[in-house]
Amino acid sequence: MARPTSATIHTDALRHNLSRVRALAPRSRVMAVVKADGYGHGLERVARALQGADAFGVAALSDAERLRAAGLSQPIVLLSGFNEADDIPQLRRLNVETVVHHATQLAMLEQAVDGDPIRCWLKVDSGMHRLGFAPEAVREAHARLRAMPAVADDIVLMNHFASSDEFEGKAGGGAQTRAQMQVFADATAGLAGARSLANSAAVLGWADAHADWVRPGGALYGISVVDGTTGADFGLRPAMTLGTRLIAVNRVRKGERIGYSATWTCPEDMPVGVAAIGYGDGYPRHVPTGTPVLLNGKPTAIVGRVSMDLMTLDLRGQPDAQPGDPVQLWGEGLPVETIAAAAGTIGYELVCSITRRVRFVEA
């Protein structure tokens, strides 16, 4: 019998979320960010569902290769840029645009004179201090790119926000994003080219940062990283439902302890269910007792440690539950953000962590 653990990917939710992004940023083109295997949802599947996007953003040339092999002809942008000179012919062969964030890349592009011009996204470090040219180096980098035969004329100017999930309005909220916008505006003032600043959180909460191109990832999968919110609060729908089934129901006596390290003690004689999912499937091991799942559509709590293949559930609220009953770990009705909060992380990490033994189903 096949393991009953599955991740259902709702392509209608992906499309809905793209139209929601378009409604929120009506004057911007949309780069759908599909890095990390479409945030764990499956790269080709996601890209086919999001063909209405104006471009795709990836973090690896191998992902661009997969998109082209799947027959997708939209513009593709390599968000972390290329790393070596040998990547440049690949960019040309796959017709991929690249972020340029470092002087070493300028030197490589200057040498790469043979072949079609490559469209470049010049990245400004406006204050996150991860990738990008320092503000005072942007003009020179732009001028050098403009002069290169290897580089197409229509350079895009971009930055990336460190904390756009903090909106303005709350006490002191949003100061870093506001400052990053100003640094970016000053560093690029007067330079020709489209502008791109906004990730998902900025699409949701920073309308004046939408500019020419928005670059949502998480929002397209229905996930919010804004503290204390879920995608539904912004009219988004979850694109993944993670589910399994009960495979055992046991009566356990008062005082008996459940699972590895015996972290939970039955307060009374009670039924305990065993569901076929664990950290070997990508469910986070470190969620505490009390973390919710939906059993037969109703909230039920995990008790004891999540193990590699299994987890144990408090069935006192559903004493008639049977092996075979459906268990939902996240999705519609149980936001992945809730589980992420219990695990001390964000929803993105959970959906990116589903392992290969989970069966992916498209709905």
Ligand X SMILES: *Cc1c(COP(=O)(O)O)cnc(C)c1O
Active site residue 260: yes
Tokens of 280: 């070997």
**CA 81 to CA 125: how far, in whole Å?**
14
Query: Does the annotation place 308 within a ligand binding site?
Result: yes
Query: Can you tell me which of 200, 224, 230, 318 binds ligand X, judged by CB under 6 A?
Result: 200
CB of 321 to ligand X, least distance (A): 37
**Candidate ranges 174-182, 194-202, 262-270, 306-314; the one touching ligand X (CB under 6 A):** 194-202
DSSP character string of 279-306: GGGT--TTPPTT-EEEETTEEEEEES--
Active site residue 254: no
Cβ proximity to ligand X, 226 vs 258, nearer residue: 226
Q: Does 239 bind ligand X (CB under 6 A)?
A: no
Answer yes or no: are the C-beta atoms of 70 and 48 closer than 8 Å.
yes
Q: Does 199 bind ligand X (CB under 6 A)?
A: yes
Q: Does 278 bind ligand X (CB under 6 A)?
A: no
Cβ proximity to ligand X, 38 vs 216, nearer residue: 216
Write b or e for each residue in 266-301: b if 16 or more Cβ atoms lie within 10 A of its Cβ, otherwise e. beeebbbbbbbbbbbbbbbeebebebbbbbeeeebb
Q: Does 28 bind ligand X (CB under 6 A)?
A: no
Cβ proximity to ligand X, 45 vs 160, nearer residue: 160
Cβ proximity to ligand X, 205 vs 216, nearer residue: 216
**CA 142 to CA 135: how far, in whole Å?**
11
> For strand 270-275 and strand 240-252, is the pairing parallel, antiparallel, or unpaired?
antiparallel
Q: Which residue is listed with tokens 């990053």?
A: 180
Query: Does the annotation place 270 within a ligand binding site?
Result: no
Q: Give the per-residue contact string, 76-115, with ligand X (x = CB under 6 A; - = no).
A: ---x------------------------------------
Applying the rule CB under 6 A, the residues between 209 and 238 that interact with ligand X are: 215-219
Phi and psi at residue 269, in whole multiples of 5°? Answer: -60, 130
Answer yes or no: are the C-beta atoms of 223 and 347 closer than 8 Å.
yes
Tokens of 276: 């076929």
Cβ proximity to ligand X, 126 vs 200, nearer residue: 200
Q: Does 33 bind ligand X (CB under 6 A)?
A: yes
Q: Which residues are annotated as catalytic?
A: 35, 260
* Contact set with ligand X (CB under 6 A): 33, 35, 79, 160, 199-201, 215-219
